[in-house]
Structure 1
Amino acid sequence: MKKMLLNEDTIRSLRVAKIFRENNDKINAADFSKNGELLICSSQDDSIVIYDCLKGTTKRTIYSKKYGVDHIQFTHAPNTVIHSSSKVDDTIRYLSLHDNKYLRYFNGHTKRVVSLNMSPTEDKFISTSLDHTVRLWDLRSPNCQGLMHANGRAIASFDPDGLIFAVGINSQQVKLYDVRSFDKGPFSTFQLSEEHLRDWTGLKFSGDGKMILIYSNGNFIQLLDSFNGDELRNFSVHIFYIAVSLEASFTPDSQFILSGSADGQVHIWNTDTGDKVAVLQGHHPSAVQCIKFNPKYMMMISACTNTAIWITESNEEG
């Protein structure tokens, strides 16, 4: 499979190469391994499906019937993941995919975890919960390494260098913290307008660290300057579907923003111009709630109850 050189023509040439129908309920999270060779999807049906991206095949399916599974993410190793729970309790679990055994449990949250993000550089991760706390963890210890009270619903994510993390609070503010001195409070706070966004459900930095993307359970996506908090652009998928979070993502080169929509389509915009580059038909029977671009290869995935793998025409020919 070819490495990436993205432009508007290659984005428009994306097509569905394969559709997997492994799940009988909505897929709630998806993540690529750091080397781009594996894809993992978690679902409300308690399944975890691992895909081989290079072969375009299902590699393995395992289940978390007792605890459920949500917000799944690869660690820096392609054979281990972390995920939150959707049943029994609100513990975060560290899972070995090789033998389907839990390596560690991270207890502390008292309500549902709403965001989970692995540091891009270290064995640390950050979580937020409906208990209005933000917690920092280290894979090597079951004990919380840092605790902050957000005074409201919070979402959080690391920057691409793993030196800063951003916390979005009450769908109104973004606060930036230095990982090494987060206990001193935020070094920057951005107050946002409320006219477009509903409840924020996700926050991501661009690969170059210059922008922050916020998506919601409405139809609006907001793009911020990560240095001064300026609201750069708003994007809309034009189909309002309350209480459904439609994930948005950057391409790895930060050139484009991807979003699913309630009618099963995929929308793609140019980050520099704000122009819509493409609206792609993914043959999804319901809302596309997960969407990501492979970090290493010319491949995109989108998921509702089905998982679609997209490649470009040039990739297919290659």
Structure 2
Amino acid sequence: MYFGPSEIDADEMGYAMSRLEIEADFCDAGKDFCGVGSSSGSQRSSEHLPDLDHEISQVTKLRSSPHQRFSREVPGRHQLPVSTVRMLAGRESNFSGRGRFSAADCCHMLSRYLPVKGPWLVDQMNSRAYVSQFSTDGSLFIAGFQGSHIRIYNVEKGWKVQKDILAKSLRWTVTDTSLSPDQRNLVYASMSPIVHIVDVGSGTTESHANVTEIHDGLDFSSDEDGGYSFGIFSVKFSTDGRELVAGSSDDSIYVYDLEANRVSLRTVAHTSDVNTVCFADESGHLILSGSDDNLCKVWDRRCFIGRDKPAGVLVGHLEGVTFIDSRGDGRYFISNGKDQTIKLWDIRKMSSGVPARHEVLRNYEWDYRWMDYPTEARDLKHPSDQSVSTYKGHSVLRTLIRCYFSPAHSTGQKYIYTGSNDSSVYIYDLVSGDKVAVLKHHTSPVRDCNWHPHYPTLISSSWDGDLVRWEFPGSGEAPIMSKKRVRRRHFYY
């Protein structure tokens, strides 16, 4: 974590924290935060472009920078974080004229305290962890494992297991899970056209499919499939909880109407596996998809131009897209790619079709499931790259590794973070591209990780079976590594 030359000293921070305890109403976002910061210095990737010169950089700064009266800008010098004490004193003196901190002031303070301390063990399983996600309000945490288990933890009750689900008809692994907005139902997918739904709100802790509870099956296949069995890589609830959107191994996007209990839309979206789908904003009109055909596509359900034709295409990845996360504003999203990069996109830059120069000729043979990325490919750039910015340093190998924007409430989405094949979690500054933190603990690829929507807490899950918690400031004992590991078969997706 980077503070620069004006790093907060212990006396200053102690005074600041005492003021935070006395005046707990300083902002809703920070009411439960405390601790002393540490600095490890940030690293700028040599492959990264200069600081982002785009509208999103200004929007990010507006959402995470303090009021101008708090800061002292020196021409020609890098703008350093404003002291917490200075901001508290400024509020006491009513520098801003508002008598309180703004949301941006809060984000500026809270985003400096990254969840980098620890880790502390949450759970340990004898199978690979594939999925880990907080609920929207942060009260629950869901983890899906290859060995048919999905566990829901109650965060507010000391990470107690609230629901221990044994999945039904699991093919290979739990590929994705999604919790409904009202937190009453959970869906889980595997390499099957059947998505199962579980009642999270029931009083039963042990949920064994069709033994202790019924796991209803939602069939995404149709008569047109002719018996072909495809798998679902990605599934998400809509904001109103009435629909599911899914991406599949038959190159398609599906929308499932839960009230009608049927597939309401299927479109052949790509020319290869659709690894990831999500809604671009709360309206549910725009769907984003990413595929092994290297493309990101935008689909507008209000105006389908033609069958299987997207509203726009975004080109830039040299290899397949493993995951997409939307900023939630219907404009920006990030994608993780097998070309070992995260890319930031502006939907308004999309083209109506695939550019003629999309196909980049390889002069090497490579399979990400068991081979390292070729050295000669690391400096290649797509000739028609439409992305806003590119972030490098982590590795996307062996599995569909995920990436995300940091929480809006506490950081103003000024960071992006990702798991990595090198067993670490990487946190990047969105605007500068700096690696502000690298979290190391695991012994196998970190496929998924998730930042609490309100608190400085991050959970990482790995193929080593460990689910661990990173915090600021952190407390408790460090995790104890188990010496017993189940031998894993070398199959990946």
Distance 1:242 1:17 in 2: 24
Aligned counterpart, 2:143: 41
After superposition, where does 1:106-125 map in structure 2 within 5 Å?
A: 106-109=218-221, 110-125=229-244
Distance 1:205 1:280 in 2: 23
Distance 2:158 2:393 in 1: 29
| Partner SS for 1:36 | coil
Does 2:166 match 1:63? yes
Aligned counterpart, 2:447: 289
Give the conservation status (yes or no) of the 8 Å contact 2:394–2:426.
Answer: no
Among candidates 96, 100, 104, match of residue 199 of structure 2: 96
What amino acid does structure 2 have at the position aligned with 1:10? Y
After superposition, where does 1:155-170 map in structure 2 within 5 Å?
A: 155-161=276-282, 162-170=284-292
Give the conservation status (yes or no) of the 8 Å contact 1:32–1:74.
Answer: no
Give the conservation status (yes or no) of the 8 Å contact 2:186–2:197.
Answer: yes
Aligned counterpart, 1:249: 404
What amino acid does structure 2 have at the position aligned with 1:255? K
Among candidates 270, 291, 294, match of residue 172 of structure 1: 294
Among candidates 404, 407, 424, match of residue 265 of structure 1: 424
Distance 1:32 1:211 in 2: 22
RMSD: 2.6
What amino acid does structure 1 have at the position aligned with 2:164? T
Distance 1:122 1:58 in 2: 26
Among candidates 472, 479, 492, match of residue 312 of structure 1: 472
Aligned counterpart, 2:328: 207
Structure 2: state its 5+ residue gaps.
Answer: 1-30, 34-105, 208-212, 222-228, 351-385, 477-493
Give the conservation status (yes or no) of the 8 Å contact 2:394–2:421.
Answer: no
1:147 Cα offset (Å):
1.0
Give the conservation status (yes or no) of the 8 Å contact 1:93–1:104.
Answer: yes
Give the conservation status (yes or no) of the 8 Å contact 1:218–1:242.
Answer: no
Distance 1:65 1:107 in 2: 14
Structure 1 187/70 Cα, relative in aligned 2: closer, same or farther at 3 Å? closer
Give the conservation status (yes or no) of the 8 Å contact 2:230–2:250.
Answer: yes
Among candidates 383, 387, 393, match of residue 231 of structure 1: 387
Aligned counterpart, 1:130: 249
Aligned counterpart, 2:79: none
| Partner SS for 1:9 | coil
1:219 Cα offset (Å):
2.6
Give the conservation status (yes or no) of the 8 Å contact 1:19–1:306.
Answer: yes
Distance 1:116 1:94 in 2: 12
Aligned counterpart, 1:192: 315
289-298 or 103-112: bigger deviation:
103-112
Give the conservation status (yes or no) of the 8 Å contact 1:203–1:212.
Answer: yes
Aligned counterpart, 1:2: 32
1:174 Cα offset (Å):
2.6
Structure 1 17/168 Cα, relative in aligned 2: closer, same or farther at 3 Å? closer
1:225 Cα offset (Å):
1.3
Structure 1 309/55 Cα, relative in aligned 2: closer, same or farther at 3 Å? farther
Structure 1 33/251 Cα, relative in aligned 2: closer, same or farther at 3 Å? same
| Partner SS for 2:261 | strand
Q: Residues 117-171 of structure 1: CA distance to partner in whole angstroms, max 9, x if unpaired?
A: 2222442110011112211012223210111112422232101322311123443
1:21 Cα offset (Å):
3.4
| Partner SS for 1:231 | coil
1:36 Cα offset (Å):
1.0
Aligned counterpart, 1:147: 266
Give the structure with the higher percent helix. 2
1:55 Cα offset (Å):
3.4
Structure 1 190/70 Cα, relative in aligned 2: closer, same or farther at 3 Å? closer
TM-score using structure 1 length: 0.86
Q: Residues 199-247 of structure 1: CA distance to partner in whole angstroms, max 9, x if unpaired?
A: 21211211344321111345322111122244122222354x6332221
TM-score using structure 2 length: 0.57
Distance 1:174 1:38 in 2: 30
Distance 2:442 2:181 in 1: 31
Structure 1 32/187 Cα, relative in aligned 2: closer, same or farther at 3 Å? same
1:261 Cα offset (Å):
1.7
Q: Residues 97-135 of structure 1: CA distance to partner in whole angstroms, max 9, x if unpaired?
A: 324334632212431111112222442110011112211
Runs of 4+ in 1 over 6 A off after TM superposition: none
**Which is greater in Rg?**
2
What amino acid does structure 2 have at the position aligned with 1:53? V
Give the conservation status (yes or no) of the 8 Å contact 1:250–1:293.
Answer: no
Distance 1:226 1:130 in 2: 25
283-292 or 68-77: bigger deviation:
68-77
Structure 1: state its 5+ residue gaps.
Answer: none
1:39 Cα offset (Å):
0.2
Give the structure with the higher percent strand. 1
Give the conservation status (yes or no) of the 8 Å contact 2:142–2:153.
Answer: yes
Count of matched residue positions in the alignment of Structure 1 and Structure 2: 309
Give me the identity figure in percent. Answer: 20
Give the conservation status (yes or no) of the 8 Å contact 1:257–1:270.
Answer: yes
Among candidates 152, 158, 164, match of residue 50 of structure 1: 152
